[in-house]
Structure 1
Amino acid sequence: MARSTKAAPAVRTSRGRAAQSEAAQPKVAAADARVRVPAERLNTPSDLSPEASKEISEGLTVLLSDFLALYLKTKNFHWHISGPHFRDYHLLLDEQAAQILAVTDDVAERARKIGGTTLRSLGQAAQKARIVDNNADYVDPLDMLAELRDDNKVTTTHMRELHDLCDEHNDVATASMLEEWIDQAEERTWFLYEASRRGDATGH
């Protein structure tokens, strides 16, 4: 009878297991080091009080979440709008989406400048955003414009509230930036209002 040439399974010795464990330690230690980096490393020096930095940066983070949600919603309608005024509406929404996206970096960096932190993920943004998504298969073009009009209007209200908070803490720089963003949102609201009018006596 032929002798089997199949090798017997290797037996791992305790020394081998120890060596493997030692090899894994540097990776674990590196991961632990990343986790244990003190939060103070992100505290940018500021003459604002810690309370002011915390409250204003948190407000900016929520606003950033709103802007990202509003940007994507505006692009959603830009991609899916249809009808006889397609070109005009398509271009209008593209312009507005670009304007919204352009300020997002300024919002995030302002939070960091005053010693706060900002968004780290889309999931976090989705939790904080106050803009309601619209995932409908079809939305009438004028209803799209009216919905974005109202979204921009309520975002303006939220920005005024954050502006009041900045005034309380004498954060003139953030307040000044908010004034520019409010003006932009008011212009978007105006354009969307005029474009969404149905021509009746009420103007809606």
Structure 2
Amino acid sequence: MEKINIGISDNDREAIAGGLASLLADTYTLYLQTHNFHWNVTGPQFRTLHLMFEEQYTEMATAVDEIAERIRALGMRAPGTYKEFSKLTKLEERDNVTDAKEMTKLLVLGHETVVRTCRQILPVAQEAADEASADLLVGRMALHEKTAWMLRALLE
């Protein structure tokens, strides 16, 4: 492959892509958890949560593609297996969650984790003048902060 010359050093591209790989793993893990809860939610808030979770996992399905494509644009390989994601993610998965309130709490924690991952990577992208990655990260932070807020509102 020809050398990449987009005005970002090789070291910075590698560091940013590494951070984005963690974001990809967190987002994909949260996507799976949200989809699981969509399928398995029950109770008086069934319709509300079922539809809300569907909106959320659908948005994240698009997001993982955008994150992976940014990693590729930086010239790095995007992780794409459960094994890789399980090593990179900061989210803890829980089996057999059946309570709607517990599902909602876990999703709040997941979205907050994704926000923290974005915040860790953002200064690296900004320092390297990687505006494309910074823009992606700011957008993801805003979306996950809003989603966490909406989910927290259901718990009050």
Kindly report structure 1 stretches of 4+ aligned residues shifted beyond 6 Å. none
Task: Find out whether 1:119 has 2:73 as its counterpart.
Answer: no
Q: Is the 8 A contact 2:22 2:117 kept in 1?
A: no
Q: Which has the larger radius of gyration?
A: 1
Structure 1 residue 62 and structure 2 residue 22: aligned?
A: yes
The equivalent position to 1:192 in structure 2, one of 140, 146, 151, is 151
1: CA distance, partners of 2:147 / 2:128: 29
| Contact map agreement 2:27 2:60 (CA 8 A) in 1 | yes
Give 1:122 deviation, angstroms. Answer: 2.3
Structure 2 match to 1:162 = 121
User: Structure 2 counterpart of 1:192, which letter?
Assistant: L
Identity %, equivalent residues: 26
Paired letter, 1:87: R
The residue matched to 2:93 in structure 1 has which SS?
Answer: coil
Unaligned 5+ residue runs, structure 2? none
Residue 139 of structure 1 corresponds to which residue in structure 2? 98
* 1:42 to partner: Cα distance: 7.6
2:61 and 2:36 mapped to 1: Cα distance? 14
Report the AA paired with residue 86 of structure 1.
Answer: F
Q: Any unmatched runs of 5+ in structure 1?
A: 1-40, 198-204
Q: Match of 1:128?
A: 88
Distance 1:176 1:97 in 2: 21
Match of 1:4 in 2: none
Change in CA separation of 1:185 and 1:81 when aligned onto 2, cut-off 3 Å? same
Cα deviations across residues 40-80 of structure 1 (Å, max 9, x unaligned)? x2854422101001100111111101111000000111111
1:98 has 2:65 as partner: no
RMSD: 1.4
Match of 1:150 in 2: 109
Bigger relative contact order (CA 8 A; separation at least 6)? 2
Deviation at 1:193, TM superposition (A): 0.5
Letter of the aligned partner of 1:163 in structure 2?
L
CA contact (8 A) 2:90 2:113 kept: no
Residues 118-163 of structure 1 deviation map (CA, whole Å, 9 limit, x = unaligned): 1142221122111111112x43111110110111012101101111
Whole-Å Cα distance in 2 between the matches of residues 174 and 140 of structure 1?
Answer: 37
Counterpart-to-counterpart distance in 1, 2:4 and 2:130? 15
Using the size of structure 1 for normalisation, the TM-score is 0.73
TM-score, normalising length: structure 2: 0.94
The structure with the greater share of residues assigned to helix is 2
Cα distance in structure 2, aligned partners of 1:84 and 1:100:
26
Report whether the alignment pairs 1:180 with 2:145.
Answer: no
Task: Look up the match of 1:13.
Answer: none
CA distance 1:153–1:42, shift in 2 (3 Å): farther
Alignment partner, residue 80 of structure 1: 40
For the pair 1:109 / 2:50, whether they are aligned, the reply is no
Give 3-state SS (helix, strand or coil) of 1:48's partner: coil
Q: Distance in 1 between matches of 2:79 and 2:140?
A: 19
